[in-house]
Amino acid sequence: MMAFGNSALCPTGKWAGMSSRLGKVLVAFGLGLVLSGCLTTQQPGPDPSIAAANEATRQKAKQEREISTNRLLARYAACVRAAFADQYDKNVEKGAAADLAFAACQADEQALHTWFTENPVASAPIRTSMSDRKLRLREELIAQYP
């Protein structure tokens, strides 16, 4: 029996020259298939546990920023309330007492401005402008005292 590409079995004949070329083509073709299989092999997707851990870390960081923001807001409001109470005892005019109270708490107000600039928080109520905050606080203080 004669094999087509085997030159040892068919040293002379029309297939003799073809065997070395055919062998090279088959080797190249096989190598191409192997390489294409390696290059197109799908890489495994991200590990779901890592993705969940990253999401948990992001959520925790967001919660910590919101907690810190709320603490700064509470500290600022407490400062203004205490300064207003102090000024109200000295000054009968509520508006003037409120203005002096806000002036006394400039360091806390500046800390809030810096915090909002460096740590954006997605929550809409927390990102309310400082002037709106001050207006609401002023109204609260004036309404609280007779």
Look over the chain and give the mean of its residue pLDDT values, rounded to a whole number. Answer: 75
pLDDT digits (tens, 9 = 90+) for 105-122: 999 999 888 888 787 664
Instruction: Return the pLDDT at 82.
Output: 94
Checking if the pLDDT of 144 tops 80, the result is: yes
- The per-residue DSSP string of 34-72 comes to HHHHHHSPPPP---HHHHHHHHHHHHHHHHHHHHHHHHH
Q: Give the pLDDT score at 1.
A: 47
CB-based contact 33:73 (threshold 8 Å): no
Q: Is the pTM of this model over 0.85?
A: no
The contacts of residue 97 (CB under 8 Å, 6+ apart) are: 84, 87, 88, 90, 91, 141
Amino acid (1-letter code) at residue 40: T
Kindly report which listed range (44-48, 51-55, 60-64, 76-80) carries the lowest average pLDDT score. 44-48
Residue position matching structure tokens 């006394």? 104
- Across the range 40-53, mean pLDDT stands at 68
pLDDT for residue 33 is more than 90: no
Q: 10 to each of 14, 20, 23, 27, how far by Cα in Å? A: 9, 12, 15, 20
Burial class (CB in 10 A: 0-12, 13-18, 19+), 105: buried
Other CB atoms within a 10 A radius of the CB of residue 73 amount to: 16
> What is the maximum span of the chain, computed from C-alpha positions, in angstroms?
122
pLDDT of residue 130: 80
Q: Which residue has the higher pLDDT, 85 or 40?
A: 85
